[in-house]
């Protein structure tokens, strides 16, 4: 089975194409979401002790746990992807040890789909008709 983000999930596929050599890392602690590409790439190198140019995915959550940012390098520059939940919170895997948690492709899809990685219970689906 390939590691990285594959086409099996629309949310995961939007983040990055599948690649066997891509790892997925979560920063376990919430970060200041005013940080953009520059601030998060410095955090990857200085705090997570990883190479931000490695093509790996680096996932961050805000303090309220209603937003996830995914940072990765793609050939000619950094990409920063954000998902915001309108009513629920991400079930961040605080039960896993260490400041950096490595996930596999399925676990990232589960996290983006709202599943609790400890209990695999999803968020309820929301359907809106307008943003106004």
117 domain-assigned: no
pLDDT at 15: 53
Low-confidence ranges of the chain (pLDDT < 50): 1-11, 16
Pairing of strands 77-84, 100-103: unpaired
Which residue range(s) make up the domain with 72? 10-112
Distances (CA, A) of 99 to 50, 56, 63, 66: 12, 17, 15, 20
22 domain-assigned: yes
The structure tokens 């200085």 sit at 46
79 domain-assigned: yes
**Cβ atoms 105, 34 nearer than 8 A:** no
34 domain-assigned: yes
Write the pLDDT tens digit of every residue in 13-40.
555 455 568 899 999 889 999 999 999 9
pLDDT at 103: 86
Q: What is the tally of structural domains in the chain? A: 1
46 domain-assigned: yes
pLDDT at 13: 52
């Amino acid at each position: 089975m390939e590691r990285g983000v594959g086409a099996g999930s629309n949310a995961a596929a939007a983040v990055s194409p599948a690649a066997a050599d891509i790892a997925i890392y979560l920063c376990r602690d919430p970060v200041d979401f005013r940080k953009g590409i520059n601030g998060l790439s410095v955090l990857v190198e200085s705090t997570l002790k990883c190479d931000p140019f490695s093509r790996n995915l680096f996932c961050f959550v805000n303090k309220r746990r209603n937003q996830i940012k995914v940072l990765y390098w793609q050939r000619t520059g950094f990409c920063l992807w954000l998902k915001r939940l309108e009513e629920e919170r991400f079930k961040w895997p605080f039960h896993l040890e260490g400041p950096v948690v490595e996930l596999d492709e399925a676990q990232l899809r589960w996290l983006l789909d709202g599943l609790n990685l400890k209990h695999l219970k999803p968020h309820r689906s929301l359907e809106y008709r307008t943003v106004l």
